[in-house]
Amino acid sequence: MSEKTTYTLPIGPIHPALKEPVAFEFEIEGEKIVGVDLKVGHVHRAIEWIGTQRNPIQIIYLAERICGICNICHPLAFSRAVENIANIEVPERAEYIRTIMAELERIHSHILWAGVAAHEIGFDTVLHLSWAVREKVLDLIEYLTGNRITKAVFTIGGVRRDITKDQYPTINKALNYYKENLGVLVNTFLDDKTIQMRSKNCGILTEEDALKLCAVGPTTRASGIKKDVRVDQAYCAYGDLDIKVMTPDIVTGEVNGDVYDRIVVRLLEVEQSVDLIEQCLDKLPSGDLVAEPKIPKLLATLKKTEGEGIGRAEAPRGEVIHYVKLDGKNEAPYTWKVRAPTYNNLLAWIPMLMGEQIADIPIVAASTDPCMSCTNRVTVIRNNKKEILDNEELHRLSIEKTRRFAR
């Protein structure tokens, strides 16, 4: 008999629903996780390489398809990088419309996440409740942009669609819907005893770890770090708006950095987004929508431009950075580098999962909002015998834990 007391539990490498597939290796001692390792980069779509074959206007279409959920922040960061290189001044009205679109995306993404989180702890009623609430913002997005998911409103130097005065009543109606109905969602998440038991003191990320691992977005704000690109380096119209960094102590009075705090931060941000959109609509200045409406002329200018630029934006999941280099000879950029927020937050899983139980993996992993809708398959090596745990089994373990608490 060997003296080894821990077992290895690999998850992945392919999670079919994950945009950035990862492989976990858990070292487990009974139910307790004592070691976590993860590997990223299994499925790779070569987006950055494709980008070097296309011109900047075509890349905007491609950038929207980096992620179907954050399809505002990627084209926004890319346009800002290119505008940065070519010194294109974006009209003020376009900056406000960009801000409105970015906040609409935040509402839809955070509510989507709330549903997924509820599903992970086996609370499917709340999944359906939150997705029903979410449909309203999709209707609004469709009304303003013509599409439910991919919005296609960005172009280099501005936006492609206007928001007119006669659209205000519909927008206000949708925003009022959120003001009235968010309370239900907030109460369900923050006051429910079962959700509190599953999420409090679970998956803790300390302030120190969050800083060390460069976590971004709501994940880091839930640990009490005031880090938000919208405030730190105000872009678009954020400089003119009344905005503050949301940390959980605003509601609970303390910062624990656990799953509960991450829920609090996201729900606070939905309320904040509704407020920001209203502020934007009030202040919306008149003017042009785009700096250079003639696309061939714009492309010709960009072809002659040489230099490198960085575009930053606060996506629902955290800071996204695009780096672009134009060489002054070709239409296509010489280099295009994208850093998505999930990349930073993946490493934060390691301290979060240490010491937790197997049944907590789904909710802790989901709490950083990694666009993860299903954990595909898990192999448990128990007494040197291989057992396959699939998504359902993991989900079942998670539900059982909730039931134990509910009793």
Partner 1 sequence: MTKESLKTFKKSLWVFHMNTGSCNGCDIEIVAALTPRYDIERFGMMLVGTPRHADVLLVTGPVMKNMEDKVKRVYEQVPDPKAVIVVGNCGATGGVFHESYSVAGPLDKIIPVDVYVPGCPPRPEAIIYGVAKVWLKLEEMEGKK
Q: Write the DSSP string, 47-115.
A: HHHHHTTS-HHHHHHHHHTS-SSSTTHHHHHHHHHHHHHHTPPPPHHHHHHHHHHHHHHHHHHHHHHHH
| CB closer to partner 1 out of 50 and 354 | 50
Task: Write the CA distances from 272 to 132, 208, 243, 337, integer angstroms.
Answer: 20, 27, 8, 30
Shortest separation between residue 387's beta carbon and partner 1, angstroms:
15
Task: Write the CA distances from 36 to 12, 328, 368, integer angstroms.
Answer: 13, 46, 16
Shortest separation between residue 55's beta carbon and partner 1, angstroms:
14
Shortest separation between residue 377's beta carbon and partner 1, angstroms:
9
First to last CA, the chain: 40
Cα–Cα distance, 378 to 155 (Å, whole number): 43
| CB closer to partner 1 out of 200 and 396 | 396
The four Cα atoms 150, 48, 19, 110 give a dihedral, to 10 degrees, of -50
Site for partner 1, rule CB under 8 A: 14, 16-19, 42-47, 49-50, 53, 61-62, 65-69, 71, 112, 115, 127-128, 131-132, 135, 138, 148-150, 371, 373-374, 390-392, 395
Shortest separation between residue 66's beta carbon and partner 1, angstroms:
7
| CB closer to partner 1 out of 116 and 175 | 116
Cα–Cα distance, 72 to 76 (Å, whole number): 6
Q: Is 244 helix (H, G, I), strand (E, B) or coil?
A: coil
Q: Which residues contact 46 (CB under 8 A, 6 or more apart)?
A: none
| CB closer to partner 1 out of 8 and 150 | 150
| CB closer to partner 1 out of 213 and 374 | 374
Shortest separation between residue 73's beta carbon and partner 1, angstroms:
13
| CB closer to partner 1 out of 284 and 366 | 366
Cα–Cα distance, 366 to 279 (Å, whole number): 31
| CB closer to partner 1 out of 132 and 295 | 132
Cα–Cα distance, 80 to 313 (Å, whole number): 9
Q: How many residues does the chain have?
A: 407
Q: Shortest CA distance to 372 belongs to which of 36, 113, 40, 34?
A: 113
| CB closer to partner 1 out of 56 and 115 | 115
For residues 367 and 351, the answer to whether their CB atoms sit within 8 Å is no
Shortest separation between residue 371's beta carbon and partner 1, angstroms:
5
Shortest separation between residue 375's beta carbon and partner 1, angstroms:
10
Shortest separation between residue 378's beta carbon and partner 1, angstroms:
12
